[in-house]
A and B are shown apart, each in its own frame.
Chain A
Amino acid sequence: MGRVVLVTGAARTLSGRLLRRLRKEPDVEKVLAVDVERPRHHLGGAEFVRADIRHPAIGKLLVERHVDTVIHMDVNATPLGSRGGRAAVKETNVIGTMQLLGACQKAPAMRRLVVKSSTSVYGSAPRDPAVFVESTVAKALPTGGFAKDTVEVEGYVRGFARRRPDVSVTVLRFAAVLGPSGGTPLAGYFRLPALPTVLGYDPRLQFTHEDDAVEVLALAAGEPRRGAYNAGTFNIAGDGVLLLSQCARRLGRPTVPMLLPAVRWAGGALRSVGMTDFSPEQIRLLTHGRVVDTTQMRTVLGFSPVFDTAQTFADFAAAHGPGILPPHTLAHAVDRLQEAVRHG
């Protein structure tokens, strides 16, 4: 008998891609897609079950359908469509995870749990080391927002791992996921016509390509490869680092450096008109940046991303078109200047 995989947060774009990817796994017999609203995307043969992970009914589902693998994707920074504001997201993130883990604990067939987390657990502060490894404890723990949610979610997951030592638990901490479909908060920021930045700071950023994100989730949900071990906590990010100024130039969008209080105010204004999620923690990320070490991902999990940070960003930039200062136009202008100098 093949495996029965349950994916939460199925209405999200990334989950949709994961559902379609899981169908290619030879040993997966059935995929259950769980969310409170019907996904708009194609489910790739997965069965959609309308359920709320904040509700104890999820436990019945796990037991009745003999689910052995749960991929918890419903830990998100932003609401999806009509789901309401930040309070509702926090409830899904934290209460949803609690309920889901409670249900998993009572499910006898459970063998494997994969949780999509984020590198936000490390926070962003000037007093932290430049590169975070999985064991780094942030000097300033996140005090609110999505970052605090992820810290709490990971706390519950550790508790679950202690109570069910027979279940293999994998926590994947993703750096900002970007890609052509780009539904993440940072993608929303990079789509702004001009990028508000914090004056006097040029943060280091890292990205994960959505293709790599789907691949590593599928890898973690399956049997570990030979010589690899897929239980534990792993940072997932493309190699290399881009500075925010580099991103803006490669994207061809001008930056608008502002003083920190002005950025906070502008962020609030943008958020209230719904243009992008410009939460305080995202402002912190865009102030101090965050870089993680991915040695564990390579050596223990045995995963090598196809896209590095620069390639991921190039892919995103190609899909979303250049801004008002396209890099090739600028480069061309410099070339013309050079020609002019040479001949004149």
Chain B
Amino acid sequence: MADAKVIPFDDDRRAAGGSGPSRAGRAGGRHHRPRRSGGGPAQARTAASEAASPAGPGPESAAGAPAEPVMLPGARSGTAGGEAGARGDEADQPLLDRLLGEGWDERTARGLAFLRRRVTGEYEVDDFGYDAELTDHVLMSLIRPVYEKYFRVEVRGLENVPDDGGALIVANHSGTLPWDGLMLQVAVHDHHPAGRHLRLLAADLVFVLPVVNELARKAGHTLACSEDAQRLLERGEVVGVMPEGFKGIGKPFSERYKLQRFGRGGFVSTALRARVPIVPCSIVGAEEIYPMLGNSRTLARLLGIPYFPLTPTFPWLGPLGAVPLPTKWTIRFGEPIETDGYPPEAADDPMLMFNLTDQVRETIQHSLYELLVRRRSVFF
């Protein structure tokens, strides 16, 4: 993202000046979400980095600058020793403008407005505890570097996720730790043209753990049960589910990309009841982040967790062993499977449920094989 494009100065200033009012206008709305076009993500990230250390907006804006893909020259000049920004025709600008880049005061203002809402509690969460503002400005900005830089996720077929109304995204699950769910969320959040938010259904273990449960709720995740799923789908949300559950995420390395049983197919009947399309989604790359060679059942039982992975690095290297391998990921959304052709009572027909579950599973498995064949290497 920070590909240092060399852009002539005048263009920059026009771009910065032109985007100014519109950005300010968007910042006025409380739940605006950053767009890909324009200065969207940059703006979100800046707001986040500014909010992170409220003590001194001046120096820390400069510290945040290297991480941003901003086209403003000043931002770069601030870190690059002012190579360009300090040239003659800029000399009449105030010092801070030169140091921090143009529009720094706007970004600071946005950051402070965000901070103001946070310290006074004047923001809103929905019934599930989803804090849209925090997710947009902070949580997504924290995971985005992993998504863009570390796993270099490639997204395909996002047009299969509808622009409005409910949809159930069904994906494969792998990788020992649920990085795939988070990456799926960033993919939809950042790249969907209509800016949809993915509401993930998570295992109950997530809501038992302190800190994790709090962050999960604020990021819009909820417990994987039919009540919650149906409520979200009926409200027209995009819901993500990984029906393999622990069987998928905790399977040994030797079984990579072999889909496990899809639960009891409860997700199909929920989608049918809510009359929303099912979007099959295949994620390639997550299987190799922690090659799980063994599973210490004794330790797992002692800790009360479903599995305790033994990888070439974990737990031998301690916390360092928990660093995932930097594999190259591909997320592909398949053709939606429409469910509104079925009568409402079809949700109680077990044969139909099995058939639809199998159809979804086969679609994902097929797509996985296709992507694997085309993959050049695990890491590139």
Chain A interface residues (CB < 8 Å from chain B):
126-131, 133, 136, 198-202, 204, 240-243, 245-250, 260, 288-289, 291, 327-328, 330-331, 334-335, 337-338, 341-342
Contacts and interface: CB of A to CB of B under 8 A. Distances in A.
A342 to B, nearest CB: 6
Given A126-B208, A331-B120, A338-B109, A201 B213 contact: yes
Interface of B: 54, 57-58, 105, 108-109, 112, 115-116, 118-129, 131, 204, 207-214, 217-218, 222-223, 225, 227-228, 231
Given A240-B124, A246-B121, A334 B210 contact: no
A250 B121 CA distance: 5
B123 A246 contact: yes
Contact of B207 (A127, A327, A330, A335): A127
A129 B112 contact: no
A344 to B, nearest CB: 9
B121 A126 contact: no
A299 B58 CA distance: 54
A126 B213 contact: yes
Contacts of B115: 334
Contacts of A200: 209-214
B110 to A, nearest CB: 10
Nearest to B116: A334
Contacts of B108: 338, 341
B30 to A, nearest CB: 14
A123 to B, nearest CB: 14
- Prevailing SS type, chain B contact patch: helix
Contacts of B118: 249
A126 B210 CA distance: 11
B105 A342 contact: yes
A334 B119 contact: yes
Contacts of A243: 125, 129, 131
A275 to B, nearest CB: 24
Contacts of A245: 121
Contact of B126 (A241, A337, A341, A342): A241
A246 B207 contact: no
Highest count of chain B CB atoms <10 Å: which of A126, A242, A327: A126
Contacts of B214: 200-202
Contacts of B119: 249, 327, 330-331, 334
A241 B129 contact: yes
A310 to B, nearest CB: 8
8 contacts: A130-B129, A200-B213, A242-B125, A246-B125, A248-B121, A327-B120, A337-B112, A338-B112
B127 A129 contact: no
A173 B97 CA distance: 58
Contacts of B123: 246
Nearest to A240: B124
B125 A127 contact: no
Given A127-B223, A130-B128, A247 B207 contact: no
Given A198-B210, A249-B121, 7 more contacts: A243-B131, A249-B120, A260-B210, A334-B54, A341-B58, A341-B108, A342-B109
B49 to A, nearest CB: 15
B57 A337 contact: yes
A247 B121 contact: yes
Highest count of chain A CB atoms <10 Å: which of B58, B121, B127, B214: B121
Contact of A129 (B58, B209, B223): B223
A240 B130 CA distance: 12
A198 B204 CA distance: 19
